[in-house]
Structure 1
Amino acid sequence: MIESRKRLGQPTIADVAELAGVSRAIASRALSSEPRPVSADKRERVLQAAQELGYKPNLLARSLTTKTVNLVAVVVNHIHDLSDLDLFDLLISEIQSIGKQVIFVRVGSSERIEEFLRSGIAYHVDAALVFSDFANAATVRKMFRNDSVLMLNGMRDGGAPAIIPDELTGIAEAVSDAARKGVRTATLITGRAASPVEQARIGHYKSEMQRNAISLIAEMRGDYSYQSGRRVAASPEWQKSDAVFCTSDAMAMGVLDVHRSVFPENRPAEFRLYGFDDVTLAEYEAYPISSIGYDKTLYISEILRFLTTPELFQSGGMLVQVPTYFVLRSSS
């Protein structure tokens, strides 16, 4: 019987248990991603049997008994910014470390969200992590038919907890650094202004510039990407100022490449340059951008706290803030 099922490619948990010489309950415990009691000897026999048979667990069947599928949805606008790569690589690794897998849902626009709803597209997931600012909590609850929604985009309601970096601290340190160095005029290069996070970020920059007697002479729009930083820096609207603040490191890198001639040995000769995100690439000699960052390990540990303690999703409008910091490098 086992050989027959193996040939058909349909081994079951019963087949694994029979080959390992254990009960189905013990085989199930041994193959569970959750820490469940089973002796080391029996676990080893079960794992060996599962490998020999090519057994793969039926997530749907398991979900009927455990009420979980060990899948987490991550809802994003897109993934192209350098900061996305830094964050999501670590996030996926940490989620996998607790026995869950990630599915990415790229929405890209509010129209795309509506398309998901009209088409009835949904995934059975244990929780949804929402980075996209095109999606509010109520919409995501409808998309996944699940109330376990964690907002990471600056948007939240009374039924969804949220985690955000406390950006004012890092921005205040960066602007104060510029003021101490004699900066009196500044240019601000921003991302998508419709984003609640970006709106708050822009507000922090403006209030801190005012507090430090720095005049904002130009506010220019990018989209967080390197290409948009280059485009803005090379545009006819570019004006000279004492400092340029970018709301992403990628845009600051684009600015730096356009104006390399006024950064001899990566040091400012005409204007000081500041980024945001503290991406890994800024640690290398090619792009030593002074930047504002946050502890991504701490940020992700807060996300994991919700995933490993599902009852926290019932905490309503709970807000967790992760502190930011300023990193001084040669561009400023």
Structure 2
Amino acid sequence: MYVSLRDVAARAGVSFQTAGKVLNGRSGVVSASTRERILKAAADLGYVPNAMARGLVRQSSVTVGVVADDFADLAVSQFVLAAQRAAASRGHAALISSVHAGVDAATAVRKLLEYRVDGILVAAPTLEDDPVLGEVLRGRLPVVSFNRVHGGGIPTIGSDHAVTGTLAAEHLLGLGHRRIGTITGPQSRQVVGTRTRGFRAVLDAADVPLPDQRVVEADWTYEGGWSATHRLLDADPSVTAVFVHNDTMAVGVLKALHERGLDLPAECSVVGCDDLSFAGYLVPPLTTVRIPFQETGERAAQLLVDRIGGKAIPSRNLLPVELVVRESTSPPNR
């Protein structure tokens, strides 16, 4: 049972209005002895201020809202956790509203508005083409998004994913690979198109072909990566290297290559993308392009709190990516 402000006031022998003023930090409203009596009563009873009630009175909650779509996506979960910690370090709690089968974007945002959040972080990549999300966000509160928002007008933060593809291609070409394939996420996603364009541009510049049969679409999952690898090598067994659009799919890729009896990395090199925590513990340890999800979440929260405080922030914020070379890539021997 929560202790109320009236409980504290009764213990201290003052009105609840007086107790509220003291516990809200106002000075000069009572004598020093009365102030001490109120504070002692609150401590003895274990009183915790009602932040929601304060928010309703002030029309401000010192809380940021987070709209997220899939915590099974390790990129989203890393971003949200880092943002939550960064917001807390600057005095803001985080309230998360998840979009799923029973809750659409408009409902998720409305729930946050009901709690009088001061601003909203968006980590909902699957909703990047949802016009409703953009409509309910624009013009209401300060917003920063991890993904593109349909219709624009929302500051975004992330990385240049063309560079992600560029780094993977340059690494494989530098090792001497010329028969290269790629396993992508869903082609409807903007990040997939951007990574693929960066990857293809480097191969084109080196006169290395990337025919359609060497570009296989998957769904970001272990199973999707496994299935896509078999389809890729069924279509073109000569492939000696694969760029995989996330580390989760790369786990399935390694399994499929092992099932086909290929010696890794000598007979087939693999480059992932993300540098998730397990990447260095795979067999072989995965070469991958590191996406700074944690730093992105931290920076997103900082930008949002700045915007809540009235500061101008850039409309597009990019953090660098980097290639992490491990043991899943080597020069080809076939």
Identify whether the pair has TM-score above 0.5, normalized to the shorter chain.
yes
Unpaired runs of 5+ residues, structure 1, are 1-7, 31-41
Supply the distance in 1 between the matched residues of 2:202 and 2:137 (Cα, whole angstroms). 39
Segment drifting more, 194-203 vs 254-263: 254-263
Q: Give the C-alpha shift of residue 55 in structure 1.
A: 2.4
Q: Give the C-alpha shift of residue 113 in structure 1.
A: 3.1
Which residue does 2:25 correspond to in 1? 29
Supply the distance in 2 between the matched residues of 1:17 and 1:220 (Cα, whole angstroms). 70
Q: What amino acid is the match of 1:132? A: A
Supply the distance in 2 between the matched residues of 1:257 and 1:295 (Cα, whole angstroms). 26
Segment drifting more, 84-93 vs 165-174: 84-93
Q: 1:94 to 1:270 in 2, by over 3 A?
A: same
Q: Is the 8 A contact 1:157 1:317 kept in 2?
A: no
* Aligned counterpart in structure 2 of residue 269 of structure 1, from 266, 269, 285: 266
The answer to whether the aligner puts 1:94 opposite 2:90 as a matched pair is no
Q: Could you report, residue by residue, the CA deviation over 1:120-163 in whole angstroms, capped at 9, with x for unpaired residues? A: 65543222212223155873562698332212113365632111
SS of the aligned residue for 2:290 comes to strand
Q: Give the C-alpha shift of residue 184 in structure 1.
A: 0.8
Supply the distance in 1 between the matched residues of 2:12 and 2:138 (Cα, whole angstroms). 38
Q: Give the C-alpha shift of residue 67 in structure 1.
A: 3.0
Q: Is the 8 A contact 1:76 1:108 kept in 2?
A: no
SS of the aligned residue for 1:331 comes to coil
* Aligned counterpart in structure 2 of residue 247 of structure 1, from 226, 245, 250: 245
Supply the distance in 1 between the matched residues of 2:94 and 2:268 (Cα, whole angstroms). 43
Q: Give the C-alpha shift of residue 85 in structure 1.
A: 3.8
Q: Give the C-alpha shift of residue 81 in structure 1.
A: 2.8
Q: 1:300 to 1:144 in 2, by over 3 A?
A: same
Unpaired runs of 5+ residues, structure 2, are 27-34, 330-334
Which residue does 1:227 correspond to in 2? 223
Q: Give the C-alpha shift of residue 256 in structure 1.
A: 0.5
Which residue does 1:209 correspond to in 2? 203
* Aligned counterpart in structure 2 of residue 154 of structure 1, from 141, 144, 148: 148
Q: Give the C-alpha shift of residue 29 in structure 1.
A: 3.3
Q: Give the C-alpha shift of residue 206 in structure 1.
A: 1.7
Which residue does 2:60 correspond to in 1? 68
Supply the distance in 1 between the matched residues of 2:262 and 2:6 (Cα, whole angstroms). 64
Q: Give the C-alpha shift of residue 309 in structure 1.
A: 1.4
- Structure with the larger RCO, 1 or 2 (CA within 8 Å, 6+ apart): 2
Q: Give the C-alpha shift of residue 229 in structure 1.
A: 0.9
* Aligned counterpart in structure 2 of residue 181 of structure 1, from 175, 181, 203: 175
Q: Is the 8 A contact 1:246 1:252 kept in 2?
A: yes
Q: Give the C-alpha shift of residue 306 in structure 1.
A: 2.1
TM-score normalised by structure 1 residue count:
0.77
In percent, how many aligned pairs have the same letter? Answer: 21
The answer to whether the aligner puts 1:55 opposite 2:47 as a matched pair is yes
Q: 1:285 to 1:220 in 2, by over 3 A?
A: closer
The answer to whether the aligner puts 1:329 opposite 2:326 as a matched pair is yes
* Aligned counterpart in structure 1 of residue 255 of structure 2, from 253, 257, 277: 257
Supply the distance in 2 between the matched residues of 1:139 and 1:313 (Cα, whole angstroms). 23
Which residue does 2:104 correspond to in 1? 113
Which residue does 1:193 correspond to in 2? 187
Q: 1:72 to 1:120 in 2, by over 3 A?
A: closer
Segment drifting more, 21-30 vs 303-312: 21-30
Q: What amino acid is the match of 1:259? A: L
Q: Give the C-alpha shift of residue 90 in structure 1.
A: 2.8
Q: Give the C-alpha shift of residue 83 in structure 1.
A: 3.0
Q: Give the C-alpha shift of residue 331 in structure 1.
A: 0.6
Supply the distance in 1 between the matched residues of 2:183 and 2:152 (Cα, whole angstroms). 33
Q: 1:315 to 1:269 in 2, by over 3 A?
A: same
Aligned residues: 309
Supply the distance in 2 between the matched residues of 1:238 and 1:69 (Cα, whole angstroms). 57
SS of the aligned residue for 1:192 comes to coil
Q: 1:170 to 1:191 in 2, by over 3 A?
A: closer
Q: 1:49 to 1:234 in 2, by over 3 A?
A: farther
Which residue does 2:120 correspond to in 1? 128
TM-score normalised by structure 2 residue count:
0.77
Q: 1:141 to 1:315 in 2, by over 3 A?
A: farther
